[in-house]
Amino acid sequence: MSTNTIAALKFKLDNFGRTEIQRSAKVMWIKEHEVGAEFIGPKLFERDLVFYLRS
């Protein structure tokens, strides 16, 4: 993996509904075992993800 790579992400939130998030992200930086990325594409699950992060 390198910067500017487009990665497919799929994960489940640990909320009551176990909401599954599937998004594409662009790798912005890599530092040892950490990766910084920015979501790209349609924002289909943004409401669920924002609510989860704020709780």
pLDDT on residue 6? 97
Q: How confident is the model at residue 51 (pLDDT cuts 50, 70, 90)?
A: confident
**Beta strand spans in the chain (E):** 6-12, 20-31, 34-40
Q: Which amino acid is at 19?
A: T
pLDDT digits (tens, 9 = 90+) for 14-43: 988 898 988 899 999 999 999 999 999 877
Who has greater pLDDT, 55 or 27? Answer: 27
| CB distance 9 to 25 below 8 Å | yes
Question: pTM of the full predicted structure?
Answer: 0.68
pLDDT on residue 35? 95
Neighbours of 4 (CB within 10 A): 7
Cα angle 50-12-24, degrees, rounded to a multiple of 5: 70
